[in-house]
Amino acid sequence: MDPATIRTRFAPSPTGYLHVGGLRTAVYAYALAKHGRGQFIVRIEDTDQKREVPGAKDKLYDILKTFGLNWDELYVQSERVGSGIYEKAAKKLLDEGHAFYCFCKPLTKDEIKENRKSKIQFRDPCHNLSKEQVEKKLAAGEKPAIRLKVPDGEFISYIDFVLRKKTSWKTDVVDDAMLLKSDGFPTYHLAVVVDDHDMKITHVLRGHDWLPSTPIHLLVYQYLGFEVPQIGHLTDIQDPSGGKLSKRKGNVAVEQFIANGFLPEAILNFVILLGWAPKDNREMFTLSEFVEHFDANGFQKSNPLFNTQKLLWFNGQYLRQKSDRELLELLRPHLKTKADDPLLLQIIPLAKSRIATLAEFEPLTRFFWQRPAPQEQISTTKEYLADALAILSKVGWNKEAIEADLVNSANSKGWNRGGYFMALRLAIAGSRISPPLTESMLILGKEEVISRLKQNLE
């Protein structure tokens, strides 16, 4: 392989849906590799078998394909366990004094969180067990885990290629991290280093929440004699309140955004700009355009805000780029109506500029096939509707004639034109917001429009 070849990886765990932040990591890793004509690898990190959600792997594959993130190589971590690659690495660390057998009961998640909050580093009680003590426990049939033997009084550092700065740690504050569980499965800390080395990964992109684990990984790289890849930590995506975007605070699942009527290309474009900026003020990017313009110097150091209004704006832009026929096909999963295609193809041009998501189409246009209930009328609006009824009963049924006669009538009587047409809109569409009124009446037909006006005058 060419020593200059860039190889990146996206390494999700199949423990649920793909988070927006996960998609961002995948998009950036893909662009980094493909801009340099390198390889993009997908690696499913499923060594935590207890947390795996059935079907999650296939959903991950489907989502990546939906966004055009086609991988060059695919690996599943659990399928590599039987090769002995992780045990071999753990044994090397043991033999060279950089790891130790741990016979302690594993900490619970709450205990681990509490240790992190109190900033207490974890020096395992088994850290300094003698050879005799270890042999005695092994002879008694105890199944140990293997932990990293972190020295005290040393410093370790690296330069982050995303944050563009050097970060250092004193090893006194680095945990004796578990590397191999007693069941023989590697933990993330061992597997990620062994796999990245074995797969010749040159650039590691991951979320900022993995930064505290970096000194552990740097030590494992060092003790195994592996070359350290370039490592970059992406900034945290902030929710509108300023906190970190998380599953607990709302909907962040990529597949849910799609189900709610967002187009993949709009989500992709939005995600591209969540932590990366082009050299100019350009906003619209397809995946291929992003790859072409990608520059690692564009990574931002400040935390981006998840601006839902901006996502809606992007979605509206992409919706309006679709042909009416394309939009009809995209709308089908979101339509409950039995309206036929010819009718829908008449309606779509009127609604296209008024919707931000596919899911908004039916509520906005339902009045075309479902007559709205009569509106409560006051005397003024009844007068407006009676006037409109008289005009529409005899006017030529075309846009110019309808608009001219209605406007002239309202003006001649000194009526508020906005109030006049709003009364008409409410009677015909049942809502203050609808596609253009005259065009809607033409689709409904003269007989139906007159019937709706009469219904509201009864």
Q: Is the pLDDT at 1 greater than 50, yes or no?
A: no
| pLDDT value for 95 | 96
**What are the tens digits of pLDDT across the range 148-198?**
999 999 999 999 999 999 999 999 999 999 999 998 889 999 999 999 999
Tokens of 329: 């096909």
CA–CA gap between residue 402 and residue 409 (Å, rounded): 11
Q: Which fold has domain 1-76+235-321?
A: Rossmann fold (3.40.50)
Q: Which CATH class, in words, describes the domain spanning 85-180? A: alpha beta
**What are the tens digits of pLDDT across the range 89-117?**
999 999 999 999 999 887 666 665 666 56
Tokens of 374: 């009569």
Is 247 labelled a binding residue? yes
Alpha-carbon distances, residue 135 vs 96, 101, 143, 148, 206 (angstroms): 17, 10, 12, 19, 39
| pLDDT value for 151 | 94
Same fold for the pair 85-180 and 324-457: no
Q: Which residues of 126-149 are buried (b: 16+ CB within 10 A; e: fewer)?
A: beebeeeebeebeeeeeebbbbbb
- 85, 89, 69, 88: which is closest to 77 by C-alpha? 85
CA–CA gap between residue 102 and residue 147 (Å, rounded): 6
Pairing of strands 155-160, 165-170: antiparallel
| pLDDT value for 125 | 86
How many CA atoms, within 13 angstroms, populate the side-chain half-sphere of residue 134?
15
CA–CA gap between residue 332 and residue 297 (Å, rounded): 42
Cβ atoms of 41 and 202 within 8 Å: the answer is no
Q: For 124-128, 212-216, 351-355, 402-406, which range has the lowest pLDDT when averaged over its residues?
A: 124-128
Q: Which amino acid is at 78?
A: S
3 pLDDT band, cuts 50/70/90, is very low
| pLDDT value for 119 | 54
Domain spans of the chain, in order of start: 1-76+235-321, 85-180, 324-457
Q: How many CB atoms lie within 10 A of CB 20?
A: 20
Mean pLDDT (the chain) is 93
248 pLDDT band, cuts 50/70/90, is low
Q: Which residues are known catalytic residues? A: 247
**What are the tens digits of pLDDT across the range 227-242?**
999 999 999 999 887 7
| pLDDT value for 34 | 98
Apex 384 CA angle, 450 and 456, nearest 5: 45
Query: Considering the chain, what percentage of its residues have pLDDT values greater than 70?
Result: 95
pTM equals: 0.91
- In Å, the largest CA–CA distance within the chain is 106
**What are the tens digits of pLDDT across the range 7-27?**
999 999 998 889 999 999 999
Q: Is the pLDDT at 365 greater than 70, yes or no?
A: yes
| pLDDT value for 240 | 81
- 311, 257, 235, 332: which is closest to 18 by C-alpha? 257
The 3-state secondary structure of the chain, one letter per residue: CCCCCCEEEECCCCCCCCEHHHHHHHHHHHHHHHHCCCEEEEEECCCCHHHCCCCHHHHHHHHHHHCCCCCCEEEEHHHHHHHCHHHHHHHHHHHCCCEEEECCCCCCHHHHHHHHHCCCCCCCCCCCCCHHHHHHHHHCCCCCEEEECCCCCCEEEEEECCCCEEEEEEHHHCCCCEEECCCCCECHHHHHHHHHHHCCCCEEEEEHHHHHHHHHHHHHHHHHCCCCCEEEEECCCECCCCCECCHHHCCCEHHHHHHCCCCHHHHHHHHHCCCECCCCCCCCCCHHHHHHHCCHHHECCCCCECCHHHHHHHHHHHHHHCCHHHHHHHHHHHCCCCCCHHHHHHHHHHHHHHCCCHHHHHHHHHHHCCCCCCCCCCHHHHHHHHHHHHHHHHCCCCHHHHHHHHHHHHHHCCCCHHHHHHHHHHHHHCCCCCCCHHHHHHHHCHHHHHHHHHHHHC
Q: How many CB atoms lie within 10 A of CB 290?
A: 22
Q: Is the pLDDT at 454 greater than 90, yes or no?
A: yes
CA–CA gap between residue 201 and residue 72 (Å, rounded): 13
| pLDDT value for 255 | 94
**What are the tens digits of pLDDT across the range 284-342?**
999 999 999 999 999 999 999 999 999 999 999 999 999 999 999 999 999 998 889 99
CA–CA gap between residue 37 and residue 296 (Å, rounded): 15
CA–CA gap between residue 99 and residue 103 (Å, rounded): 13
| pLDDT value for 113 | 62
| pLDDT value for 366 | 96
Looking at 1.10.10.350, 3.40.50.720, 1.20.1560.10, 2.70.210.12, the CATH number of the domain 324-457 comes to 1.10.10.350
